[in-house]
Structure 1
Amino acid sequence: MSGENTLTPTEKFNLISRNLQEVLGEDKLKEILTKKDLSLYWGTATTGRPHVAYFVPMSKIGDFLRAGCEVTILFADLHAYLDNMKAPWELLSLRTDYYEAVIKAMLKSIGVPLEKLKFVRGTDYELSKEYTLDVYKLSSLITEHDAKKAGAEVVKQVDHPLLSGLLYPGLQALDEEYLKVDAQFGGIDQRKIFTFAEKYLPQLGYQKRIHLMNPMVPGLTGGKMSSSEEDSKIDLLDAPAVVKKKLKKAFCEPGNIQDNGVLAFVKHVLLPIYKSEKGFVIPRNEKNGGDITYQTYEELEQAFAKQDLHPADLKGAVEIYINQLLEPIRKTFEEPKLKKLAESAYPTKKTKQEAVADVITPSKLDIRIGKIVEVSKHPEADSLYVEKIDLGEEQPRTIVSGLVNYVPIEEMQDRMVLVLCNLKAAKMRGIESQGMVLCASQEEPKAVEPLQPPANAKPGERVIVENYQDGEPDAVLNPKKKVWEKLQVDLKTSSDLIAQWQGNNLITLSDGGLITCKSLKNVPIK
């Protein structure tokens, strides 16, 4: 930044820490500020396209730079590949170039000078001999339990994780040392990685760093703003009409200030950027009282909670402010070179690896043999059983089934069944069901029969569709892609009472034993 920073250490601390959810090492931070400017880094894995939620860390980076901090932005390209290959290797360099161009445009759009900011790629130093040796040293200290726990909020969790995902937290810890910073900045979802770094870096003889954590800001649909959920985020290159459409669908219930992504965006991005002596202006029709101005977020939130501020008026103001933020970015990316970069880094045509992952085949289903070890009627629903089913796991799963009118309770106890285990858990009249018992189902006359495993089947044994044994099941079937619904239409019993998918038999993985039905022929399985 041009010119000498004249802020006092206290003023710098207040600017650095405002709107953060937590600071680990606050005393050390204050001590450093009495002696010199703080050096810190923020890392981002170069996976999906950055969206407007990136203005949350960018506005804090603006605070850091105004406080005189030396800020490094790390493009964690190697991490992006290691996290279940979210970024294909052949696109890593292009996506890193795209991220750098976008982030520079974002910072310029909010008036942040870039003189004390530098950009580093993980692959610039993470492939060095020294770094690699430290990775091996860390691997001799870290337990699998600690590695999984540290990455629980950040790395995609699956039943059988790849080794790359277990390495991820250790690499992020080492980045602090190799970037020679005083502190690391990230979201509160990074907290377990930060405490992991504080535990293990000293064991390599490296110092413990300060950790600065932003709160998690809900997306427009109420949950986390995600690159993979189109309606939950506004892309930085979205046209004004698209911004309007997405904000119209955003979750913003009258009077509700919880999980409200629109309010959260105002608090963490728009107010810090746009609030001036004029305050934060909400344009309104004269018949609705005319424009209204708020000097603080607390005033705005209180007005919304009391329903003095209508969601439509709030969304209208946010739309104006977001488009002011995005307009210079859109113009920057009208340059032919950057337009081509955006198209190359995020091609419409999927890579071979991505295309294979998107093909919906029965190998995505996690079907297992289960044994009902306990069964009772649902206390709130006469037609439902609540079953405890042994699926070869540490504890039996609770599963709710609508079988009361079709199978007597005494026939359910100790019965062997087939269970679809990777449906998203759902509450059924107040009790969470962690799977579904697969049954043959006939409409006229109405009849339902649980499928029958082979006589020698054991709890936990996997069931597959013949000729579709390649590939691991999804951890959880994506309800938005309707994976189960698309596969279920081709699940039927044959005229020989054999369970099939598109004419291919359902069999046990261990010995190819057939899955059958007692009496219902040529009917759907669901």
Structure 2
Amino acid sequence: MAEEKLRLIKRNLQEIIGEDRLLEILKQRDLKVYWGTATTGKPHVAYFVPMSKIADFLHAGCEVTILFADLHAYLDNMKAPWELLAHRVNYYESVIKAMLKSIGVPLEKLKFVKGTDFQLSREYTLDVYRLSSLVTEHDAKKAGAEVVKQVDHPLLSGLLYPGLQALDEEHLGVDAQFGGVDQRKIFTYAEKYLPHLGYKKRIHLMNPMVPGLTGSKMSSSDEESKIDLLDSPAQLKKKLKKAFCEPGNIKENGILSFCKHVLFPLSKTHEFVVERVPENGGTVTYKSIEELEQAFESEKLHPGDLKAAVEIHLNRLLEPIRKEFQTPEMQKLVAQAYPVEKKKGGAKTENEVTPARLDLRVGKILKVEKHPDAETLFVETVDLGEEGPRTVVSGLVGLYSESRLQDRLGVFLCNLKPVKMRGIESQAMLMCASREDPRAIEPLDPPEGSAPGARVFIEGYETGEPDDVLNPKKKVWEALQPDFRTNDKCIAEWQGNQMKTKLGIVKCESLSGVPIK
């Protein structure tokens, strides 16, 4: 029994400091271990690496504490202002619980603690002063070198950070601290200085650093190196396509590392399945990470097939998390924890050109007639969920019949600047799939049951307010339009992200793989 617990605790770790102490504790009782995370950037899929180890600890009967280091987050070069910390702690707790649920981890022996719940106490504060009277500037700076942002003129807070993390071990009452090997210097700092305060040395359990998609550590601040836990399947596919996965290279390969540290440990069958068409070798099942790495190194497994398999497995992990965060309450929490920064006057600092700036809505065409002064134009009266209807001019004569337009629902872009077309002002634009050869046009179809005025959005760009009116000089629509297309199933997309309403996907009748204009 103790041997199996030890095996689970040690699985995939790079290093343990104090393994002899670990063995002694396991002979008597279950281990008490904590893992801390600073509540700064959004958690991403690399968090499944520590979560898979936390799953091992819990399966081994350990008492596990997850510390939300809100005070540490503030002191780490003040990445997160105080007013956001409470919301970010709530976000972290919600998303980590959702992750653990998605991998079927028992939570009876798991608890969450916020740093400021005990780090501002009299006892803790006295220990900070006691520690600061013992530690040299050199040792404090060296201890934080891998995890505290290094600048030419460091703040005193950055020198305090390692000491606070060391004191957490004592004040949380744990036997061991778990973290990445990048924290080794903080762990050895704790081993050196806690005994000087009269406290026992703790055990330190270290995960290897798993390469990110760019070949380095996944970072919350580097969009190209991470996959957000709330990314859509389309966003996941896009980012995995860009991932570095050189044929035959098994050492600098974030995809294989993710298989080793997450997908294999979490697999109930302890297998990894790669689905392939018969002409590419057919579906194959790997029973160990060594078998998978050998196939990849010998180039019997193509990077594209490996990525496709990881995409399937990762979507299974992410889907329960996505669903949990679709509620209005969770959407509000995300907006509170990570609000869009604004300039004076209310403009977005980023000024990003994304589909979130488009006011797309479901509209019902109440009336259709030909333009009195243009042979190719229809004039439509459209209910867009406002006090009164809008007039929309569309160049569909000869391409789509008047009778088929009458009383149908469509998707309309509503914040273009109104423009006169042969004397009649068009106040929105009907979105259509369009093929040049042979020429054909089909209006987009909202999901069944949609009502006029219902919001239409691009998956992954649900949050944020659209511009009141798109400034023609900024050419926002012109920049976005080339990436609007239908896919092979006639579903409307932007850069692979589906167009949707709260009721489902938007598509057209039959035109696949064509631009949307």
Tell me the TM-score normalised to structure 1 length: 0.65
2:275 is aligned with 1:283: yes
CA distance in 1, matches of 2:172, 2:327: 33
State the partner residue of 1:301. Answer: 293
SS across alignment from 2:204: strand
Q: Which of 145, 148, 154 is matched with 1:155 structurally?
A: 148
2:60 is aligned with 1:53: no
SS across alignment from 1:34: helix
Instruction: Tell me the alpha carbon deviations over residues 316-358 of structure 1, each in whole angstroms, 9 at most, x when there is no partner.
Output: 0000011100000000001111110011100122599xx9x99
Conservation of the 8 A alpha-carbon contact between 1:40 and 1:181: yes
2:330 is aligned with 1:333: no
CA distance 1:266–1:179, shift in 2 (3 Å): same
2:258 is aligned with 1:265: yes
Correspondences of 1:13-412 after superposition (within 5 Å): 13-274=6-267, 276=269, 279-349=271-341
Per the TM alignment, residue 202 of structure 1 is displaced from its structure 2 partner at its CA by 0.5
CA distance in 2, matches of 1:271, 1:22: 20
Instruction: Tell me the alpha carbon deviations over residues 275-302 of structure 1, each in whole angstroms, 9 at most, x when there is no partner.
Output: 506x210011111111011000001001
Paired amino acid for 2:136:
T
CA distance in 2, matches of 1:101, 1:209: 29
Unaligned runs of at least 5 residues, structure 2: 352-517
CA distance in 2, matches of 1:202, 1:135: 14
CA distance in 1, matches of 2:343, 2:61: 43
CA distance in 2, matches of 1:241, 1:275: 26
State the partner residue of 2:505. Answer: none
Correspondences of 1:427-442 after superposition (within 5 Å): none
CA distance in 2, matches of 1:301, 1:289: 17
Superposition RMSD in Å: 1.7
Paired amino acid for 1:320:
I
Per the TM alignment, residue 159 of structure 1 is displaced from its structure 2 partner at its CA by 1.2
Per the TM alignment, residue 144 of structure 1 is displaced from its structure 2 partner at its CA by 0.6
- What is the total number of aligned residue pairs between the two structures? 349
CA distance in 1, matches of 2:342, 2:309: 37
Per the TM alignment, residue 88 of structure 1 is displaced from its structure 2 partner at its CA by 1.3
Per the TM alignment, residue 45 of structure 1 is displaced from its structure 2 partner at its CA by 0.3
Instruction: Tell me the alpha carbon deviations over residues 456-481 of structure 1, each in whole angstroms, 9 at most, x when there is no partner.
Output: xxxxxxxxxxxxxxxxxxxxxxxxxx
Correspondences of 1:506-521 after superposition (within 5 Å): none
CA distance in 2, matches of 1:131, 1:197: 15
Instruction: Tell me the alpha carbon deviations over residues 409-466 of structure 1, each in whole angstroms, 9 at most, x when there is no partner.
Output: xxxxxxxxxxxxxxxxxxxxxxxxxxxxxxxxxxxxxxxxxxxxxxxxxxxxxxxxxx
CA distance in 2, matches of 1:242, 1:133: 48
CA distance in 2, matches of 1:320, 1:132: 48
Instruction: Tell me the alpha carbon deviations over residues 103-123 of structure 1, each in whole angstroms, 9 at most, x when there is no partner.
Output: 000000000011100000000
Paired amino acid for 2:74:
Y
State the partner residue of 1:462. Answer: none
Paired amino acid for 2:282:
G
CA distance in 2, matches of 1:103, 1:350: 29
Per the TM alignment, residue 152 of structure 1 is displaced from its structure 2 partner at its CA by 0.4
CA distance in 2, matches of 1:351, 1:128: 38
Per the TM alignment, residue 150 of structure 1 is displaced from its structure 2 partner at its CA by 0.2
Instruction: Tell me the alpha carbon deviations over residues 82-107 of structure 1, each in whole angstroms, 9 at most, x when there is no partner.
Output: 00011111101100000000000000
State the partner residue of 2:480. Answer: none
Conservation of the 8 A alpha-carbon contact between 1:275 and 1:295: no
Paired amino acid for 1:264:
S
Instruction: Tell me the alpha carbon deviations over residues 112-153 of structure 1, each in whole angstroms, 9 at most, x when there is no partner.
Output: 011100000000000111111110111110111000100000
SS across alignment from 2:28: coil
Instruction: Tell me the alpha carbon deviations over residues 238-285 of structure 1, each in whole angstroms, 9 at most, x when there is no partner.
Output: 0000000000000001011122111100110011112506x2100111
Instruction: Tell me the alpha carbon deviations over residues 21-53 of structure 1, each in whole angstroms, 9 at most, x when there is no partner.
Output: 000110110110010000010000000000000
CA distance in 1, matches of 2:241, 2:342: 30
Unaligned runs of at least 5 residues, structure 1: 1-7, 360-526
CA distance in 2, matches of 1:303, 1:211: 34
SS across alignment from 1:119: strand
SS across alignment from 1:212: strand
SS across alignment from 1:40: strand
CA distance in 2, matches of 1:46, 1:311: 34
SS across alignment from 1:155: coil
Per the TM alignment, residue 231 of structure 1 is displaced from its structure 2 partner at its CA by 1.0
Paired amino acid for 1:71:
V
Conservation of the 8 A alpha-carbon contact between 1:252 and 1:261: yes
CA distance in 1, matches of 2:152, 2:302: 45
Paired amino acid for 2:315:
N
CA distance in 2, matches of 1:318, 1:94: 32
Q: Percent of aligned pairs with the same residue? A: 75
Per the TM alignment, residue 303 of structure 1 is displaced from its structure 2 partner at its CA by 0.8
